[in-house]
A and B are shown apart, each in its own frame.
Chain A
Amino acid sequence: MKDKSIHLSEDQILLSLVDGNDLSEDIKTHLLACPECRRKKTAFVLELDRLGEKAKYFTPDLKQKPVLRFRKPRDSFFRLPVFAACVALVLIIALALSLVLFTDSSKQMTAQLSTEKEEYLYLLDEILEEPYLSDHYLDITAASNSYFDDEFVEFVVPLEDPLNSV
């Protein structure tokens, strides 16, 4: 913009209206020095100022007075939305209930375990104290068949007489 006879375009004048600080140094200098461009810009600014004035002038008078709602600021806890507060309450109740239930069931489990433990200990004592194993264990090991004496076995499965077989 060295040549002073070249004026700013309409777009450059509009840009200067939006924000004069965004213009390049050349344009700023030209705008300061050129009365023609300054006149164009001022005319546009006046038109826009008049727009604001007319809009205000042609707006009817306000008859009502504002009604305001006064409220004291409350602690941050009470600023929580109701929904969030309800959800938090439900969670707290659920947590408390689960804690109570869990404590009860763990007590029951402990009691059951201790009973089982006592039963096993009693059984173990029985086994250790008795010289012979109980019938149950003898059945498993087939040792309980000891009451079949030789005579009975011979009756069931007779031995061959060596004299007859000849």
Chain B
Amino acid sequence: MTNDPVHKLSNIVESARSGNRVSMEELASFFYNKIFHMVYSRNVSRMDAEDLTQEIFLAMSKNLYQLKDTTSFKAWLYRIALNRIKDFHRKKNFLSLFSLKSTEDTESLGESHNALDDVMGKEFWYQFHRLTRQMSKKEREVFILRYVDQLGIRELAETLKNSESTVKTHLYRALKKFKEAPGLRSFLKGNLI
């Protein structure tokens, strides 16, 4: 048995796929927070993000037996998450046409953060979404998956079902837009506006 993390993950996935409850829980505990962060960073409110994350893991546990290549589990899981997020935004936009649901999210960040953190957090996400709104859909997806969700180029290509060169092109264009985003960059450098 090798210590290679990809190989280790693949073994856990294989075991979970054959119905091992412990392996399934191990997978969930490893990815649950990551997926929640992923969902939340796509302009989804905390409550909705929790529900969506739950849905994503239900879908994962329900359809895991369909996964043929266990080494591509991460990309597969992120793809499920991206599709769910897309569906969520589509539904939200549709409902907002009839004003059935407010598109504003005014909730606080959580109990562990103090008031200053709340303000800083709101400023960060405001600047972040302002930047990502300037990007095309593909650029935005590639940029967030690469620098927020910390996926590698190969994982990105696998998740988005694109070639690596296409992913690199989108990433390059997104980085150019990031370079020209003074608000977010000065926030990251520690100079609050």
Contact = CB atoms under 8 A, between A and B. Distances in A.
Interface in A56-84: 56-64, 66-74, 79
Q: In terms of DSSP, what is the predominant structure of the interface of chain B?
A: helix
B168 A19 contact: yes
B83 to A, nearest CB: 18
B5 interface: no
B94 interface: no
B175 interface: yes
Contacts of B147: 48, 51-52
A10 B176 CA distance: 9
Please list the 7 inter-chain residue pairs (A to B) with the smallest Cβ-Cβ separation, ordered nearest first: A60-B110, A58-B121, A68-B61, A66-B28, A72-B19, A66-B57, A55-B148
A79 to B, nearest CB: 8
Interface residues of A, number: 35
B141 to A, nearest CB: 15
Given A52-B147, A60-B40, A68-B28, A47 B189 contact: yes
B37 A54 contact: no
A82 B113 CA distance: 49
Contacts of A143: none
Contact of A62 (B33, B113, B175): B33
A73 B188 CA distance: 47
Contacts of A67: 54, 57-58
A69 B58 contact: yes
B188 A14 contact: no
A61 B111 contact: yes
Nearest to A15: B172
A62 B54 contact: no
23 contacts: A14-B179, A44-B179, A47-B185, A51-B147, A51-B188, A52-B148, A54-B187, A55-B37, A56-B37, A58-B113, A59-B37, A59-B109, A60-B110, A64-B54, A66-B32, A66-B54, A70-B21, A70-B24, A71-B19, A71-B61, A73-B17, A73-B18, A79-B65
